[in-house]
């Protein structure tokens, strides 16, 4: 059964257009509530959100939908996605719900869910919800309606959890860190985490107004962080995205490090401490240089489909703990059940302090292959898979690259885009090949 509404990370779209409308979101919550009640008489659901102005409307719709199915609701307010996952598990809730479109611009929003264990839910569960959406609602009567309350110290609980993942014998004293929260869910949390661990913090992207999330700041616009690190002569820079589940890091020279490099550093740290790392999981987009570097250290590497849920599935299947995406969405399952930009940063800072080396020094032997990624927007019912010219040019490029590169073409799970990625040792050749393929999709 294919999914009608759910993409690779929940349900996402433009606010005011199906499915991100208050009436649909109310029906969605009601359907989810009915699915929950198949296995639990009185479920409790946590709801957190990022800083988009539309979050107020969608929060109210979710609350009504759950209550109408006889499900209790706990409102967390603005909180990073991984914070909702943590509190769902810590408070023994039935489900965690996040209102966020992550790195998308403010006109978009979305809904994603976490299980009682703080993990992304399966495709089967999403299919059950979609099936329930097709059924007539069964409204609870007045005596069995759900109730709602607010958890006032949600942010403080999550801050303490993040700090607990940093070694007790280490401190950030003497370090100046620029923290960019993308005007998103971590605006009131990220600066405190690093400050309370001893760092001097310079905050940017921490003044949300409901309309500026991800706007020219954060992990999708790291140039702002690079400039701020240089201007403040900081030791380190941290750029989160709108819901703080992914991160990009910058060193004192202004050099930017992506998720592939951070995954390698996390593996390196555990190996240096004598911990076994049988393998790590990346995605189809992970840079080939990192795969080769890990294998050179005796660490097996497996590629999953793009999307942290698929990385998590591979990790659980193999009983491994480290994996992630180049976007900065990284998993350390011995620390958290889901990707967390703050915890990833603390793991990297730990590695640097223990090794007494900089990120550049630790990554000296890993030179990333140039990658060119071109997003081509689809129009109407355009069927890119049936494009014979695309197939012909792709085969030609693959033959040209041979063993020294690779091509990946995939549809976005959250936007009407086709992503064309080419990776090779030569940057000019990489750009040329990617553009040739992308041109076949232009309308």
Which domains, from first to last, does the chain contain? 11-152 (3.40.120.10), 157-255 (3.40.120.10), 259-362 (3.40.120.10), 371-439 (3.30.310.50)
Residue 321, pLDDT score: 98
- pLDDT for 256-314, tens place per residue? 999 999 999 999 999 999 999 999 999 998 998 999 899 999 999 999 998 888 999 99
- pLDDT at residue 224 tops 70: yes
Q: Which two tokens stand for residue 99?
A: 């209102």
* Nearest partner of 428 among 440, 419, 436, judged by Cα: 436
Helices (H), 273-322: 288-296, 308-318
Reported pTM: 0.89
The pLDDT value recorded for residue 251 is: 98
Q: β-pairing, 279-283 with 256-257?
A: unpaired
> CA 215 to CA 237: how far, in whole Å?
18
**φ, ψ for residue 262 (rounded to 5)?**
-65, -35
Q: Higher-confidence residue: 338 or 1?
A: 338
pLDDT of residue 153: 96
Tens digit of each residue's pLDDT (9 = 90 or more) over 416-440: 899 999 999 899 999 999 999 999 9
CA distance 97 to 102: 13
Q: How confident is the model at residue 148 (pLDDT cuts 50, 70, 90)?
A: very high
User: Of 180, 167, 130, 78, whose CA–CA distance to 346 is shortest?
Assistant: 167
Residue 102 designated active-site: yes
**Considering 54, 68, 102, 327, which one is annotated as catalytic?**
102
> What is the number of H-type helices and E-type strands within the chain?
14, 18
pLDDT in tens, 387-402: 999 999 999 999 999 8
pLDDT in tens, 66-77: 999 999 999 999
Amino acid 1: pLDDT = 52
Q: How far apart are CA 29 and CA 31, in angstroms?
A: 5
pLDDT digits (tens, 9 = 90+) for 84-120: 999 999 999 999 999 999 999 999 999 999 999 999 8
pLDDT at 173: 97
Q: Is the pLDDT of residue 443 over 70?
A: no
Angle at 265 between CA 259 and CA 269, to 5 degrees: 145
- Quick one: pLDDT at residue 7? 86
For 188-200, how does the pLDDT look when each residue is reduced to its tens digit (9 = 90+)?
999 999 999 999 9
Q: Is residue 213 classed as helix, strand or coil in its secondary structure?
A: coil
């Amino acid at each position: 059964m294919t999914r009608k509404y759910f993409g690779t990370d929940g349900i996402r779209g433009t606010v005011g257009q199906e499915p991100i409308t208050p009436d649909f979101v109310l029906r969605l919550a009601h359907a989810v509530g009915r699915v929950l009640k198949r296995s639990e008489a009185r479920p409790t659901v946590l709801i957190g959100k990022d800083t988009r102005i539309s979050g107020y409307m969608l929060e109210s719709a979710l609350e009504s939908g759950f209550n109408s199915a006889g499900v209790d609701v706990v409102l967390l307010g603005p909180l990073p996605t991984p914070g909702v996952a943590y509190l769902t598990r810590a408070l023994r809730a039935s489900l965690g719900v996040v209102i966020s479109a992550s790195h998308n611009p403010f006109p978009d929003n979305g809904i994603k869910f976490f299980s009682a264990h703080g993990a992304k839910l399966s495709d089967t569960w999403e299919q059950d919800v979609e099936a329930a959406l097709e059924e007539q609602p069964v409204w609870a009567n007045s005596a069995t309606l759900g109730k709602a309350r607010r958890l006032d110290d949600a942010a403080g609980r999550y801050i303490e959890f993040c700090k607990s993942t940093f070694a007790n014998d280490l401190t950030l004293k003497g370090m100046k860190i620029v923290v960019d929260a993308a005007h998103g869910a971590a605006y009131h949390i990220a600066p405190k985490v690093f400050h309370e661990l001893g760092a001097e913090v310079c905050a940017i992207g921490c003044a949300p107004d409901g309309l500026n999330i991800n706007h020219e700041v954060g992990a999708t616009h790291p140039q702002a962080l690079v400039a701020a690190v240089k201007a403040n002569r900081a030791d380190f820079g941290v750029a989160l995205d709108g819901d703080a589940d992914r991160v990009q890091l910058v060193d004192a020279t202004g050099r930017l490090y992506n998720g592939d490099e951070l995954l390698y550093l996390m593996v390196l740290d555990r190996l240096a401490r004598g911990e076994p790392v049988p393998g790590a999981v990346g995605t189809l987009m992970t840079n080939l240089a990192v795969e080769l570097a890990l294998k050179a250290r005796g660490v097996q590497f497996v590629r999953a489909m793009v999307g942290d849920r698929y990385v998590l599935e591979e990790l659980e299947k193999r009983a491994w703990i480290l994996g992630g995406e180049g976007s900065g969405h990284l998993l350390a399952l011995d620390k958290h059940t889901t990707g967390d930009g703050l915890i990833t940063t603390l793991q990297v800072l730990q590695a640097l302090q223990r090794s007494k080396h900089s990120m550049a020094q630790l990554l000296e032997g890993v030179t990333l292959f140039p990658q060119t990624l071109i997003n081509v927007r689809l129009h109407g019912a355009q069927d890119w898979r049936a494009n014979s010219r695309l197939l012909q040019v792709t085969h030609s490029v693959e033959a040209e690259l041979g063993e020294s590169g690779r091509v990946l073409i995939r549809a976005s799970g959250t936007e009407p885009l086709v992503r064309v990625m080419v990776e090779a040792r030569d940057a000019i050749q990489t750009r040329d090949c990617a553009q040739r393929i992308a041109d076949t999709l232009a309308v």
